[in-house]
Amino acid sequence: MEDTIIGQKFGELLVLNEVPKDIRKDKNHRCFECQCSCGNKTIVTLNHLKTGHTKSCGCMKGKACSKANIKHGMTGSRLYQTWSHMKCRCFNSKDKEYHRYGGRGISICDEWLCDDGFINFYNWAINNGYQEDLTIDRINNDGNYEPNNCRWVNRKEQMNNVGYNVYLQLEDKKYTIAQWSDILGIKQDTIQARKKYHNYDDRTALLKSPTCQKKVRVTSVDNKIKIDFNSCKEASEYIGCDRSSITQCAQGKIKSTHGYYIEYIEEEYNLNLASDNQYAERL
């Protein structure tokens, strides 16, 4: 029996003795009892000792993980998450935002990717106005993530800089949806929905009265019932479903809902004229 390894040290493991075949769990491989430098004893196969597969009782792995976690002590911080998400957007093709970043060539500077990448990023952030309510924004939307092209802005400012932002024009004024929202006092979601789902022209999307209601016709699939309602809300109360189902059906996203076909039959709204004092003052 080969016992020349007894007394030898492999990594942090000192070989004490061979474990008899009749009491060891692994019957197919020679196993040795070893003492780790940390004081723990463990059983290791001969092959794992000689190949270097096992170098400790497991404490070395724990130390390595601990060292990685305490290197900067901020793994769970918001800044670390910002840095981590930034890398995912640029390098992880499975990330839902990859097509707008790494997919079109956006990368990250070496200073923020090296072994001390996060520390460098952290120092830059703290020295350049980082606050918990701000997000990182690239000044040049086609440029990389690097100190000279990044800043900390609030969400609204960032939305005004994104590449897919939509600009709407009213007479000689041209602003983003976020900016029009501030000027006119209309929710961004409302303006976006008017453009995306209703295909309104810019003037209608911006000046349509927020209190307008669409009339809908409700027809049973057997064509026995046909009723007109002044709003989707009234129709939803009649049918006994939520209003979103009525809207989706009327927009053609679903064929029917709860046994009824829904269609818009008339739209009544008043446009605020550009000459209105209220509109003029806001501009």
Distance (Å, whole) CA 38 – CA 92:
39
Comparing CA positions, the residue from 256, 213, 251 lying closest to residue 232 is 213
Cα 121 versus chain centre, distance: 20
Is the torsion defined by CA of 197, 202, 206, 210 positive or negative?
negative
**Tens of pLDDT, residues 207-252:** 876 555 678 899 999 988 999 998 888 898 899 888 888 888 888 8
How does pLDDT run along the chain (283 residues), one tens digit per residue? 455 789 999 988 999 999 888 887 777 888 999 998 888 888 888 888 888 878 888 776 655 544 444 456 677 788 999 999 999 989 888 888 888 788 888 899 989 988 888 999 999 999 998 888 888 888 887 889 999 999 888 765 555 555 446 778 888 888 877 778 778 777 777 887 787 777 888 888 888 765 556 788 999 999 889 999 988 888 988 998 888 888 888 888 898 999 999 998 854 434 443 334 445 455 5
Give me the residues paired with residue 153 across strands. 135
**Both tokens assigned to 147:** 């100190």
* pLDDT value for 146: 93
Q: How far is CA 200 from CA 115, 172, 195, 275, in A?
A: 51, 18, 5, 21
**Chain position carrying tokens 């983003």:** 176
Distance (Å, whole) CA 88 – CA 107:
10
* Global confidence as pTM: 0.39
**Residues in the chain, how many?**
283
What are the start-end ranges of the E strands in 46-191? 135-138, 150-153, 167-170, 173-176
**Chain position carrying tokens 């707008």:** 100
Comparing CA positions, the residue from 178, 253, 243, 246 lying closest to residue 218 is 246
Q: In what order do the strands lie in the sheet with 213-220?
A: 226-229, 213-220, 260-268
Secondary-structure breakdown of the chain: helix, strand, coil percentages, each rounded to the nearest 5: 35, 20, 40
Exposure b/e, 233-243, CB count within 10 A at least 16 = b: ebbbeebeeee
137 touches 150 (CB < 8 A): yes
Q: CA-based diameter of the chain, in Å?
A: 102
Q: How far is CA 123 from CA 23, 138, 149, in A?
A: 57, 18, 16
Give me the residues paired with residue 33 across strands. 17, 43
Complete domains list, the chain, with CATH: 9-62 (no CATH), 78-159 (no CATH), 167-208 (no CATH), 213-268 (1.10.10.10)
66 touches 53 (CB < 8 A): no
